[in-house]
């Protein structure tokens, strides 16, 4: 099944050229799959450029002023106006089947429970609607030294709640991303990040693990993977909710 998804990705890529200049992959995917009214979750300073026939409202967990305090490294950059202040994993403020599309670029790795987030993305799009995801491939980011997050870990967090593995993620982040030289520093940095509720990468994937997650989820939620494309350091996936899909309950 995974080989079939990759073959479809190659078929999608063929012919993506205008004249002699390649078209950026996100622009092509947005043009081909996004239209109508949707939302983008966690856009910050880098919202997806949408085609003219698509408009988006922006969802984030904090208003812009508080986001600037949370991310001082973005102080010089313009942030999108936050239209909906909500937890991006639950999207509790967004009604079922109300959106033509959901965009979540470099957001899923920040989710404590990615299965919950994906289920709610699919819940809020209408039948036939689209979820557009971009996820970093850990091999090409500061997560390169971290172990991949296996599907079993995600299933356990979803079934029992992610709080019990939260501290472990922060410790791993301090140890393998911050490169703290001693265990005392590892624990100090991890505690500081937790106290600030800093939005780390809780999970790290390569293409294989992301495809495994999506194939597993397909067995429980009605959608097709319309595209699965590598784009430099990231992986882009386009999911289309089945036209006859039953309404989804919000994932707790």
Reported as a single tens digit per residue, the pLDDT across 148-172 is: 999 999 999 999 999 999 999 999 9
pLDDT confidence of residue 17: 44
Q: How many contiguous H segments (helices) and E segments (strands) does the chain have?
A: 8, 9
CB 6 within 8 A of CB 228: yes
In tens, the pLDDT along 65-76 reads 888 888 888 878
What backbone torsions phi and psi does residue 243 show, to the nearest 5 degrees?
A: -60, -30
pTM of the model: 0.87
β-bridge partners, 229: 236
Distance from C-alpha of 61 to C-alpha of 110, rounded to nearest angstrom: 12
Q: Which helix (H) or strand (E) holds 21?
A: strand 21-22
Q: pLDDT for 84-101, tens place per residue? A: 999 999 999 999 999 999
List the domains of the chain with CATH numbers: 2-142+152-159+202-241 (3.40.50.150), 163-200 (no CATH)
Q: What is the pLDDT of residues 191-242, one digit of tens each?
A: 999 999 999 999 999 999 999 999 999 999 999 999 999 999 999 999 999 9
Rounded distance, CA 93 to CA 163, Å?
Answer: 23
- In angstroms, rounded to a whole number, what is the distance separating the alpha carbons of residues 37 and 97? 12
> Looking at 106-244, which runs of residues are DSSP E strands?
125-136, 223-231, 234-241
Backbone angles phi, psi at 34, to 5 degrees: -110, 130
């Amino acid at each position: 099944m995974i080989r079939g998804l990759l073959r479809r990705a190659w078929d999608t890529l063929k012919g993506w050229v205008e004249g002699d200049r390649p078209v950026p992959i996100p622009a092509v995917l947005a043009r081909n799959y996004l239209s109508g009214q949707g939302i983008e979750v966690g856009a910050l300073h880098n919202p997806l450029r949408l085609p003219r026939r698509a408009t988006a409202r922006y969802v984030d967990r904090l208003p812009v002023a508080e986001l600037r305090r949370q991310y001082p490294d973005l102080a010089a950059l313009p942030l999108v106006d936050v239209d909906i202040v909500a937890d991006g994993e639950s999207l509790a403020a967004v009604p079922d089947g109300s959106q033509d599309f959901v965009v979540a670029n470099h957001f899923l790795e920040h989710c404590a429970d990615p299965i919950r987030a994906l289920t709610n993305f699919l819940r809020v799009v209408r039948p036939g609607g689209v979820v557009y995801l971009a996820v970093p491939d850990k091999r090409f980011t500061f997560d390169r030294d971290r172990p991949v997050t296996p599907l079993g870990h995600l299933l356990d967090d979803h079934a029992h709640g992610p709080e019990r593995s939260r501290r472990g993620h922060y410790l791993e982040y301090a140890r393998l991303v911050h490169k703290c030289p001693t265990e005392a520093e590892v624990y100090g940095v991890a505690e500081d990040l937790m106290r600030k509720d800093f939005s780390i990468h809780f999970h790290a994937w390569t293409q294989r693990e992301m495809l495994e997650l999506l194939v597993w989820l397909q067995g429980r939620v009605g959608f097709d993977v319309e595209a699965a494309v590598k784009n430099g350091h990231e992986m882009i996936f386009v999911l289309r909710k089945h036209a006859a899909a039953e309404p989804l309950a919000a994932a707790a």
